[in-house]
Amino acid sequence: MATTSSATAAALPGAFGPDDVDSLAVETIRFLAADMVEEANSGHPGLPMGAAPMAWTLFSRHLRHDPSRSDWADRDRFVLSAGHGSALLYALLHLFGYDLPMDELRRFRQLGSATPGHPEFGHTDGVETTTGPLGQGLAMAVGLALAERMQAARYPDLTDHHTWALVGDGCLMEGVSHEAASLAGHLGLGRLVVLADDNRITIDGDVELASSDDQLARFAAYGWHVSRVDDGTDLVTIDAALTAAKADPRPSLVAVRTQIGHGAPGVEGTAKAHGSPLGAEVLAAARRRIGWPEERFHVPQVIRDRCAALAAQGAAHRAAWEQRWKEFAAASPGEAGEWQRRHARRLPETPVSIPLGAARATRVASREVLRCASEVLPELVGGSADLAGSTGTDIGATALTRDDFSGTRINFGIREFGMAAVLNGISVHGGFRVYGSTFLVFSDYLRPALRLSALMRQPVVYLLTHDSVAVGEDGPTHQPVEHIESLRLIPNVAVLRPADDAETLEAWRIALERTDGPTVLILSRQSLPPLPATGLRDLAATGARTVHDPENPDVELLATGSEVHLALAAADLLAADGVRARVRSVLWRERLPDVGRRDPGALPSVSIEAGVSQGWRGLADTSVGVETFGVSGPGEQVLTYLGLTPEAVADRIRRS
Amino acid sequence: MATTSSATAAALPGAFGPDDVDSLAVETIRFLAADMVEEANSGHPGLPMGAAPMAWTLFSRHLRHDPSRSDWADRDRFVLSAGHGSALLYALLHLFGYDLPMDELRRFRQLGSATPGHPEFGHTDGVETTTGPLGQGLAMAVGLALAERMQAARYPDLTDHHTWALVGDGCLMEGVSHEAASLAGHLGLGRLVVLADDNRITIDGDVELASSDDQLARFAAYGWHVSRVDDGTDLVTIDAALTAAKADPRPSLVAVRTQIGHGAPGVEGTAKAHGSPLGAEVLAAARRRIGWPEERFHVPQVIRDRCAALAAQGAAHRAAWEQRWKEFAAASPGEAGEWQRRHARRLPETPVSIPLGAARATRVASREVLRCASEVLPELVGGSADLAGSTGTDIGATALTRDDFSGTRINFGIREFGMAAVLNGISVHGGFRVYGSTFLVFSDYLRPALRLSALMRQPVVYLLTHDSVAVGEDGPTHQPVEHIESLRLIPNVAVLRPADDAETLEAWRIALERTDGPTVLILSRQSLPPLPATGLRDLAATGARTVHDPENPDVELLATGSEVHLALAAADLLAADGVRARVRSVLWRERLPDVGRRDPGALPSVSIEAGVSQGWRGLADTSVGVETFGVSGPGEQVLTYLGLTPEAVADRIRRS
């Protein structure tokens, strides 16, 4: 793959002639990455040094992007799923002219730098997703590729990009790789190309210590196009493989055999190259081996020139697209406005609303809200991990298929983690709002992806139903106990548990208005009667509202969801004894103004929530909760057994 | 597969002759299951009716068990991974004479019955694992099969059993199926045979809605032996496939094409048969179709006889084994005692101990304890999800391999969830104590299995290191913030965060002495100096000890792990101002006697823990914590940035 160059040979390190720009670029990336790690005295040089040739091939021959406009909607996406190789990504972003100056490379892994230890979405120009927790980058890439197809179905003239991911052995061992790759194969996401850095090394040693998978056969079983490049330094073959992958209508896995830490004498090809600086001696030896200049962070001018030329090609692509966009806007101003609204995540004027006042499960009320929201917000897409009917996402919307991506409903299959990670990918793609549903108890399965929703501040809506031991007969494996509280612990997550249909609507409104983090709606399986319609609009600001307000109350009951009705019934019993109990419905506990600083002169208070009460300590003097796993039996009997009846609660309050 | 029977034809339903005992048994199971669901008006008839033929083939031809002694150590294990099909399992256990009388089948899914909605380990005689959360049964079966190999390496004359699992489409879609199946293939667990109930139906409809996997090709890529049975009612072919699977040296997947709800007119073969009672009309029609008696819970005497005869064969196998055991005990009384000790989960006389007083990370101290524990307890096995060196499980123990299972170290690969589920399987097998390690932040990946450790009350030891934002450069994806608190929420889990090497030893002792639930050790990456050696033996009972005890204290600081040292440094600064701060190291917060009921006259208190402080509310008047995600940078700088320095903490205390 000889290339011509305007640079003079004199400007190049000894071993490289003017025709060796590609080799020079690869070495530039390798040494930038190694120097970053060395300077930080922390980080992972192994992957960047081994994967530099394939990454350069991708960035120089295939990736369509405009580094001057990292927000170009129709850019190709590149996800470094093996996020520990961040130095590789930063080197590339710097060379191609993203807003990542050399000073930031020198500040790799330093507090406040644009080059954190793992790539962080929203923090560094050109970084498409936060990665590091293994496997999730691959799954988010599936989401990005799916978003592209969905957008192409809606805006065919404006959408024509690819999604590329670079994964390591670890990504392929993680279970989420199965869920995501299976879904990608099922949906035939042909614009997804995954490069596997097949270095056969993990932290503990050779991959063979723990895995004998035939990864190509495995992905072929998912319906992927697969290929292998035996020499990961052979740019011509890599280029051909990527070209073939792009041309194939199936998603593609290109396994590229590499050597971890390639070029670092004594450590290359071993686990030692993975996660520690090479050390001055090895790094110097690496330089000597190919005659690389001694100065750190060296970038030959010819490489700067080549990258600038490539970036200019990308800018031209973007300009041509902008032109098409202007023509589209001129021809269809309404649709163009809609495009802009969706990409800006602005809500439409039409409010989301449903008729209120019916006794029904909040999961059923949520279904009605979702049905309306899907009409009001055509960009709202999502689905369920095989529980559409139970969780209220069976709203009659058309499911998308491999042949038609215009639908708004996604059949995620029994893949909670994959669902959530794919939703993250769709969300960071832009142009869509997303939701996903499962039983609350299975939020454990998707928790690692919910954490990334929160870290990336993506407004993913999680519909988690069957929200307590009232689930009944399915028993403790299906009865959430610790889950509501555990979700409240994750920063940036809004955890909302509505108590009737009006609060469910309000919770959905909060979720849709939020653009800086995920929202979890905790929804009941069982029917709940409507509460008085007071104070609903305060919920977003104050988190709670009063639903029963006797004069001169003796005690305040703080309850959530279905337990608000339990609190009201207990208050009735107490009233017969002359005890006046105020009842508050707490939709969004973390919004309570008194969280963590209760007035010592406040009313005695009792929290009532069918889950572990740990998080209510300090908010209430007494807590009625469920501190053990549940038990199988009819829901009402289970509640009785666990002390969640009006009588038992009233007794607890009398004794407190 | 004609069989002779002593029953008279007159005792049989119309359509069955005396040679049709197999068909009769299959129908008995089908109707028992359908009747259980009907009686409960809740449950899943579809899987039992479709899978009854394969289950009967397994139980009547292959499964080696003694229903009168469900604790026989060398029994075959059967795991119903598709736990929603519990009625199938209960029907079989009843018919074969386990301690599950018909009355319990009639009380299916009722409060306090032995037949809960999903199978529960420790609750029902003959149930080997708790299942229901999909995919985990398969992974636990891998653990059971691994335990068998490990036990065979240690007691070859006493170990010769198989592990069987029945999985559904959902189990195979879940990511953990990938992790577990890949590990099983890698380790060549040939005594594992998995029957896949290939009914092509999920809750949302056809499997084809969400998956196009070629499951046989996929499992072949893991190194499994795979086969297909096209007619799931053909006992002869199923039997042949199971025989071939047993004979093959690889783990086996036998995909059996079935019809969900087979025999139920109008709903068979559809998602409607999955999770609801058939209804009186359909059930009556099903009976009419084959002439089955109208009475519910009908069991033909010939089936009772056949099952009793088969159980007697199992009892004979067990008796022969007991005889071998007695010979073994006579020849090797010491080894026999050791076998008994291990199976009773008694600790040996020799205490686990290490030299104390060194400044080191608690993960390093834990490594030393683990090294000693591995010598004292030869039954202690475990490993890491590819972080052996970082988490301190690289104790020089021999790793087991597919050719030699005598090692005690397991290379789990980058499979946290699979690791934890496999550990659960090894633990419920008996004869071993288990541990597994990863970074604390990745406990999210294994949380669903940790929940099952807790629900099954298995003493799995989780070593979770790199326990705070002090991790530093790796940044927020690798810095736990919410995790310690979220683990404390799960019932039956002991969450211990030691502050020096002596507390690490104590934490390990607590973990090893516990036999009724998992223990999580939260361990530091960074070095911690030794604390005064006072009150260590109180920790197990009271959860905390005083490590700095000035006279007439003004304030009490409650800290955990590395933050105990921060508290001590803050106390020093406060002392210079004349403020006397008592410092308590809280190893096991949930053991604090005052959890949830603080004395109003108590000292003002401040909690200090580098994580979200939600759970400390009510225990402390003020909390120093980390309420946001972390940030990438050198550890010390990150701590400073987040206010976790002695100066900042002293300031917070002065202001509180």
Give me the residue label for tokens 């896995």: A253
DSSP state of A400: P
Whether the per-residue pLDDT at A603 is higher than 50: the answer is: yes
Is position A416 annotated as part of the catalytic site?
A: yes
Interface test with B, best of A39, A47, A140, A173 (most B CBs within 10 A): A173
pLDDT band at B1 (very low <50, low <70, confident <90, very high): very low
- Structure-block tokens of residue A380: 């709202």
pLDDT for position A599:
64
- Structure-block tokens of residue B136: 């985990």
In angstroms, the Cα distances linking A538 to A370, A512, A592, A596 are: 22, 16, 11, 20
In chain A, positions 512-571, which contact chain B (CB-CB < 8 Å)? none
**Dihedral sign for Cα atoms in the order A372, A417, A427, A255:** negative
CB contact under 8 Å between A634 and B218, yes or no, is no
Angle, CA A379 vertex, CA A377 and CA A380 arms, to 5°: 75
What HEC string does B492-541 produce? CCEEECCCCHHHHHHHHHHHHHCCCCCEEEECCCCEECCCCCCCHHHHHH
- The percentage of chain A sitting over the pLDDT mark of 90, rounded to a whole number, equals 93
Of residues B131, B612, B632, nearest to A489 (C-beta): B612
pLDDT for position B602:
78
Of residues B413, B612, B631, nearest to A211 (C-beta): B413
CA–CA separation, B191 and B334 (whole Å):
29
User: pLDDT (tens digit, 9 = 90+) per residue, B181-227?
Assistant: 999 999 999 999 999 999 998 888 898 999 999 999 999 999 999 99
Whether the per-residue pLDDT at B317 is higher than 70: the answer is: yes
Nearest CA in chain B to A85: B474
CA–CA separation, A457 and A122 (whole Å):
9
- Structure-block tokens of residue A495: 């955890």
In chain B, positions 63-92, which contact chain A (CB-CB < 8 Å)? 83
With H, G, I as helix, E, B as strand and everything else as coil, classify residue A561: coil
Of residues B170, B414, B638, nearest to A174 (C-beta): B414
Q: Which chain B positions have a beta carbon within 8 Å of A176's beta carbon?
A: 175
pLDDT for position A656:
83
User: pLDDT (tens digit, 9 = 90+) per residue, B462-516?
Assistant: 999 999 999 999 999 999 999 999 999 999 999 999 999 999 999 999 999 999 9
Strands (E) across A325-474 are located at 360-361, 380-384, 409-411, 433-439, 461-465
Lowest mean pLDDT of A327-336, B1-10, B134-143, B609-618, name the range: B1-10
On whether any CB of chain B is under 8 Å from the CB of A386, the answer is: yes
CB half-sphere exposure, A376, CA atoms < 13 A = 18
Q: How far is A116 from chain B (nearest CA, A)?
A: 5
pLDDT for position A14:
60
- Structure-block tokens of residue A173: 């061992």
Lowest mean pLDDT of A134-138, B326-330, B599-603, name the range: B599-603
CA–CA separation, A592 and A598 (whole Å):
10
Whether the per-residue pLDDT at B534 is higher than 90: the answer is: yes
**Dihedral sign for Cα atoms in the order B422, B426, B429, B433:** negative
How many other C-beta atoms are found inside a 10 Å radius of the C-beta of residue B128?
Answer: 25
- Structure-block tokens of residue B611: 């994580």
CA–CA separation, B552 and B575 (whole Å):
12
- Cα B548 to the chain's mean position, in Å? 40
CA–CA separation, B141 and B161 (whole Å):
13
Q: Which chain A positions have a beta carbon within 8 Å of B43's beta carbon?
A: 473
Interface test with A, best of B81, B173, B455, B558 (most A CBs within 10 A): B173
pLDDT band at A15 (very low <50, low <70, confident <90, very high): low
CA–CA separation, A545 and B1 (whole Å):
69
pLDDT for position B92:
98
Give me the residue label for tokens 């597919």: B402
Residues 6+ apart with CB under 8 A from B334: none
pLDDT for position A598:
56
Lowest mean pLDDT of A11-15, A20-24, A51-55, A287-291, name the range: A11-15
**Partners of A623 in beta bridges:** A607
User: Which one of A120, A179, A268, A416 is the catalytic residue?
Assistant: A416
Of residues B83, B178, B481, nearest to A491 (C-beta): B481
pLDDT for position A499:
98
pLDDT band at A600 (very low <50, low <70, confident <90, very high): low
CA–CA separation, B590 and B496 (whole Å):
9
Quote the crossing angle between the two packed helices A301-331 and A21-40, to the nearest 10°.
100
Interface test with B, best of A474, A558, A640 (most B CBs within 10 A): A474
CA–CA separation, A219 and B277 (whole Å):
38
CB contact under 8 Å between B182 and A641, yes or no, is no
Q: Which chain A positions have a beta carbon within 8 Å of B488's beta carbon?
A: 614
Average pLDDT, chain B: 95
Q: How far is B485 from chain A (nearest CA, A)?
A: 8
- Structure-block tokens of residue A325: 């966009």
- Structure-block tokens of residue B147: 């335990």
Amino acid code (one letter) for B59: F
Residue B92 CB burial class (10 angstroms; 0-12, 13-18, ≥19): buried
CA–CA separation, B145 and B249 (whole Å):
13
Give the pairing type, strands B527-528 and B360-361.
antiparallel
Q: In what order do the strands lie in the sheet with B461-465?
A: B409-411, B380-384, B433-439, B461-465, B519-522, B494-496
CA–CA separation, B599 and A462 (whole Å):
40
CA–CA separation, B465 and B99 (whole Å):
43
Q: Please compute the mean of the pLDDT values over residues B299-316 and round it to a whole number.
A: 97
- Cα B644 to the chain's mean position, in Å? 36
Residue A178 phi/psi, 5° resolution? Answer: -65, -50
Interface test with A, best of B386, B481, B483 (most A CBs within 10 A): B386
pLDDT band at B648 (very low <50, low <70, confident <90, very high): very high
> Which of these, A115, A458, A94, A479, lies nearest to A297 by C-alpha position?
A94
CA–CA separation, A15 and B434 (whole Å):
54
CA–CA separation, B530 and B358 (whole Å):
6
CB contact under 8 Å between B182 and A211, yes or no, is yes
On whether any CB of chain B is under 8 Å from the CB of A348, the answer is: no
Amino acid code (one letter) for B467: D
Q: How far is A322 from chain B (nearest CA, A)?
A: 36
CA–CA separation, B508 and A411 (whole Å):
45
Q: Please compute the mean of the pLDDT values over residues B550-560 and round it to a whole number.
A: 97
CA–CA separation, B621 and B603 (whole Å):
9
Of residues B111, B212, B217, nearest to A631 (C-beta): B111
Residue-wise DSSP of A91-121? HHHHHTT-S--HHHHHTTT-TT-S--SS--T
Of residues B179, B477, B629, nearest to A491 (C-beta): B629
User: Which one of B368, B416, B503, B563 is the catalytic residue?
Assistant: B416
pLDDT for position A11:
54
CA–CA separation, A115 and B404 (whole Å):
45
User: pLDDT (tens digit, 9 = 90+) per residue, A294-307?
Assistant: 999 999 999 999 99
pLDDT for position A8:
43
Q: Which chain B positions have a beta carbon within 8 Å of A628's beta carbon?
A: 491
Q: Which chain A positions have a beta carbon within 8 Å of B612's beta carbon?
A: 489, 491
Whether the per-residue pLDDT at A549 is higher than 60: the answer is: yes
On whether any CB of chain B is under 8 Å from the CB of A485, the answer is: yes
Average pLDDT, chain A: 95
Q: Please compute the mean of the pLDDT values over residues B437-452 and round it to a whole number.
A: 98
How many other C-beta atoms are found inside a 10 Å radius of the C-beta of residue B491?
Answer: 18
On whether any CB of chain A is under 8 Å from the CB of B602, the answer is: no
CB contact under 8 Å between A491 and B202, yes or no, is no
CA–CA separation, B418 and B180 (whole Å):
5
Interface test with B, best of A36, A127, A174, A637 (most B CBs within 10 A): A174
Residue A313 phi/psi, 5° resolution? Answer: -60, -45
pLDDT for position B16:
73
Of residues A477, A614, A623, nearest to B488 (C-beta): A614
CB contact under 8 Å between B476 and A488, yes or no, is no
On whether any CB of chain B is under 8 Å from the CB of A127, the answer is: no
Q: How far is B330 from chain A (nearest CA, A)?
A: 39
pLDDT band at B598 (very low <50, low <70, confident <90, very high): low
User: pLDDT (tens digit, 9 = 90+) per residue, A47-91?
Assistant: 999 999 999 999 999 999 999 999 999 999 999 999 999 999 999
Task: Work out how many CB contacts closer than 8 A connect A with B.
Answer: 332
pTM of the model: 0.97
pLDDT band at B5 (very low <50, low <70, confident <90, very high): very low
- Structure-block tokens of residue A539: 């919920």
> Which of these, B377, B176, B344, B182, lies nearest to A218 by C-alpha position?
B182
On whether any CB of chain B is under 8 Å from the CB of A18, the answer is: no
Q: Which chain A positions have a beta carbon within 8 Å of B614's beta carbon?
A: 485, 488-489, 614-615
- The percentage of chain B sitting over the pLDDT mark of 90, rounded to a whole number, equals 93
How many other C-beta atoms are found inside a 10 Å radius of the C-beta of residue A68?
Answer: 15
- Distance from the first to the final alpha carbon of chain A: 80
User: pLDDT (tens digit, 9 = 90+) per residue, A176-224?
Assistant: 999 999 999 999 999 999 999 999 988 888 989 999 999 999 999 999 9
**Dihedral sign for Cα atoms in the order B122, B125, B129, B135:** negative
With H, G, I as helix, E, B as strand and everything else as coil, classify residue A624: strand
Nearest CA in chain B to A211: B186
CA–CA separation, B210 and B215 (whole Å):
14
pLDDT for position A16:
72
- Structure-block tokens of residue A2: 């000889």
pLDDT for position B2:
38
CB contact under 8 Å between A111 and B632, yes or no, is yes
Q: Which chain B positions have a beta carbon within 8 Å of A619's beta carbon?
A: 617-618
On whether any CB of chain A is under 8 Å from the CB of B481, the answer is: yes
pLDDT for position A203:
86
> Which of these, B477, B416, B473, B475, lies nearest to B448 by C-alpha position?
B416
CB contact under 8 Å between B641 and A485, yes or no, is no
**Segment (H or E) for A558:** strand A555-559
> Which of these, B175, B182, B210, lies nearest to A176 by C-alpha position?
B175
Of residues B134, B477, B628, nearest to A491 (C-beta): B628
- Structure-block tokens of residue B139: 């992974």
